């Protein structure tokens, strides 16, 4: 499993959003970037987290910070999620797990004694030069987006 550390260069990526926009780390250089990795569109925790980041969208923009949510869902599932929840933030599906693995968030999980692969809810703040500025592994949703915004403002 890949491991990323604060201060290290962020792994490069190319990913498409549910709206067809192609996003790359290189295209975000010169701006701050928040990648928040979530397990599954439409679940309770993921819906709350998406609404929290979406609600703070104008404040992230004022802090010169782009926010992108990434999950292993299909673009179609993410599009339905965005539409149903009336979200404006960028969401991307990584069905092949390339970005999820590059950032070390595609991990073995366990529930009721059953082991399976899934996303460890994690947020990464990347600085203007493309380095990892902050990491939040094993995120608890309540208040998290506000904490990330404060860190982005301070960067």
Q: Name the residues annotated as catalytic.
A: 46
Cα(75)–Cα(20) distance, integer angstroms: 9
Helix axis angle for 75-85 and 44-55, nearest 10°, is 60
Alpha helices in 3-139, H assignment, sequence order: 25-28, 44-55, 57-62, 75-85, 98-102
Identify the residue whose tokens are 């549910």: 18
The answer to whether the beta carbons of residues 154 and 131 sit under 8 Å apart is no
């Amino acid at each position: 499993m890949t491991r990323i550390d604060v201060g290290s260069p962020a792994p490069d990526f190319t990913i498409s959003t549910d709206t067809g926009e192609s996003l790359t780390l290189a295209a975000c250089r010169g701006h701050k970037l928040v990648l928040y990795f979530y397990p599954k569109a439409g679940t309770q925790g993921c819906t709350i987290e998406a609404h929290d980041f979406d609600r703070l969208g104008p404040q992230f923009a004022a802090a010169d910070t782009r926010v992108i949510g990434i999950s292993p869902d299909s673009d179609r599932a993410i599009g339905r999620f965005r539409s149903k929840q009336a979200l404006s933030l960028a969401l991307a599906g990584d069905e092949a797990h390339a970005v999820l693995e590059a950032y070390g968030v595609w991990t073995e999980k366990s529930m009721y004694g059953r082991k399976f692969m899934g996303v460890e809810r994690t947020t990464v703040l990347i600085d203007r030069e493309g380095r990892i500025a902050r990491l939040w592994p094993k995120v608890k949703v309540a208040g998290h987006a506000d904490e990330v915004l404060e860190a982005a403002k301070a960067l």
